[in-house]
Amino acid sequence: MKNDQHIASVFDRDLEAIQALILKMGGMVEQAIRDSATALTERDVDLAEKTRAADKAIDKIEEMINEEAARMIALRAPMGQDLRMALSVIKIAGALERVGDYAKNLAKRTTVLAGQSPVNGTNKSILRMAREVEVMLHDVLDAYIQRDVALAEDVRSRDHEVDQMYNSLFRVFLTHMMEDPRNITACMHLHFIAKNIERMGDHITNVAEQVIYLTTGEMPGDARPKGDATSIDVDAAE
């Protein structure tokens, strides 16, 4: 009996250490979203370069989480809810890493756009969209800490709003390009930036679904509401 209690105690300590890494990683990704959006709207090339460089640290933490989770599963052989927790941290870390990749992509395109004139009315819309996904990420991390299914469901539903913002921006970019061909290059870059932010929302929603699975033992049964009316995809590894 004492041995079982010791194993459970060691497992709990291992899991707490991994969860601390998840929260650290999440905070770094929040900062990356904030900095990349600020760099874009202020044409701050130095901040964009700083954001790109910081992505390596995010990737490193994901590697640490995966290694620790794999070691914990191999040594502790968790079952039931404990196994769900161990598997969920791997998936959550993967989703956070992808969001970090998209933030890095925003920073990369900012360095290209810095030498061009802003396209009227688009910067504020992109910044508002980026701030929405940043708040979603903050809330889903809170939901993870508190095992708050209602908050996770709320984050999941808000992805539809991000999709609608993207659709509106897509139409604005098309209008600008048709009205003045000189806007085409800038609008193409801005479109990819908006699409990257929309994809951030998708991955944050994946985290919300993992929180629901972790807490209830079941994935959400209803189809995720999607509002992206375009079929253009963006590779986070560009």
| Distance between CA atoms of residues 68 and 22, nearest Å | 12
Whether 174 maps to a domain, the answer reads: yes
Whether 226 maps to a domain, the answer reads: no
| Distance between CA atoms of residues 155 and 158, nearest Å | 5
The count of residues in the chain is 238
pLDDT in tens, 95-123: 999 999 999 999 999 888 887 877 887 88
Domain with 137, as residue range(s), is 2-216
Whether 159 maps to a domain, the answer reads: yes
| Distance between CA atoms of residues 77 and 8, nearest Å | 11
Whether 224 maps to a domain, the answer reads: no
| Distance between CA atoms of residues 224 and 153, nearest Å | 10
> Residue 6 is part of a domain; what is its CATH number?
1.20.58.220
As given in the structure block, the two tokens for residue 95 are 């989703």
Whether 236 maps to a domain, the answer reads: no
Note whether 58 and 32 are within 8 A (CB).
yes
CA 229 from centroid of its chain's CA atoms: 21
pTM of the model: 0.88
| Distance between CA atoms of residues 88 and 212, nearest Å | 10
Domain count, the chain: 1
Region 158-185: mean pLDDT is 94
Mean per-residue pLDDT over the chain, rounded = 88
Whether 228 maps to a domain, the answer reads: no
| Distance between CA atoms of residues 207 and 23, nearest Å | 12
What pLDDT, on the 0 to 100 scale, is given for residue 122? Answer: 87
As given in the structure block, the two tokens for residue 111 are 């360095």
Region 36-50: mean pLDDT is 93
Whether 152 maps to a domain, the answer reads: yes
Q: Is the model's pLDDT at 45 over the cut of 50?
A: yes
The burial of 126, by beta-carbon neighbours within 10 Å (0-12 exposed, 13-18 middle, 19 or more buried), is given as buried
